[in-house]
Amino acid sequence: MNKFRTFLPLLSAMAIFHLGLLSGSVQAETIELPDESLSFDEQIEFFSEEALGLRPENAGTMAIGSDGCEISDALAAQFDLLIPIDDAAKRDAEAEHAEFGLPEQIDDTGFEVLLHHNDYILGYNTNLKQPVFATYRLNRADIVSGDRRDCFREDHRLEEEARSTLEDYDEPVFDRGHLVPVGDMHRKFSTSVNTFYLSNMMPQ
């Protein structure tokens, strides 16, 4: 079974041995490095939170990265390296996730840009500083459970003046809402964490 989803909004290094917690610090035991032939995500699994001794009951007290990111800054930086993708991967993403084409530009202001990921595509409005559409194909095999690790951060593919920032949501009314939901992107840990780019967020 395939589901092809297009959402339109209604509102306009690798080895990590020390992880800090709010309630103290946990020093993980030294463990062997993984086989270098493993894929990036397989290496990440090797250094998973569970492998390093962090348990779900500690999730509420985790603050192991800056700005409340629930993974370390070093690991977030590694995930950042997975984007942007090259032109060939962009074409593959469009073939997979935009089988029926992409929405046309709604005006001639030039505010809309495409942000390609391997697992979805975003249309982003640099004036509103938020996405205006998202499209991806969801296969049955992609529907899996996984731990949610919040890591809200800026998308450095965008010019600084076009980015949404954490400070944009530093008020009591609106929260940061995913356009591409993290629950649909648990196929890889890196994929789920990278849904927390602010370019995938809009007020909710």
Q: What's the pLDDT score for residue 70? A: 86
Token pair belonging to 102: 């992409």
Determine contact, residues 185/191, Cβ cutoff 8 Å. Answer: yes
- Helices assigned H by DSSP within 124-199: 189-193
Q: What's the pLDDT score for residue 15? A: 34
What CATH number does residue 61 fall under?
A: 3.40.570
Task: Please give the residue range of the domain that contains residue 167.
Answer: 2-203
Instruction: Write the pLDDT tens digit of every residue in 14-64.
Output: 333 333 333 333 333 333 545 666 676 666 665 554 554 444 444 444 446
Give the residue carrying structure tokens 């397989």.
42
Q: What's the pLDDT score for residue 118? A: 95
DSSP H or E run through 202 = strand 201-203
Q: What's the pLDDT score for residue 78? A: 86
- Three-class SS of 6-65: EECCCCCCCCCCEEEECCEEEECCCCCCCCCCCCHHHHHHHCCCCCCCCCHHHHHHECCC
Q: What's the pLDDT score for residue 104? A: 84
DSSP H or E run through 2 = strand 2-7
Token pair belonging to 126: 């640099």
Q: Rounded to an integer, what distance in angstroms lies between the CA atom of residue 190 and that of residue 78? A: 9
Q: What's the pLDDT score for residue 35? A: 60
pTM score: 0.70
Q: What's the pLDDT score for residue 98? A: 96
Q: How many domains does the chain have?
A: 1
Tens-level pLDDT at each residue, the chain (204 residues): 544 454 444 333 333 333 333 333 333 333 354 566 667 666 666 555 455 444 444 444 444 678 878 888 888 888 898 899 999 999 999 999 999 999 887 776 767 899 999 999 999 999 999 999 999 999 999 999 888 889 999 999 999 999 999 999 988 888 999 999 999 999 888 999 999 999 999 999
Q: Rounded to an integer, what distance in angstroms lies between the CA atom of residue 107 and that of residue 114? A: 15
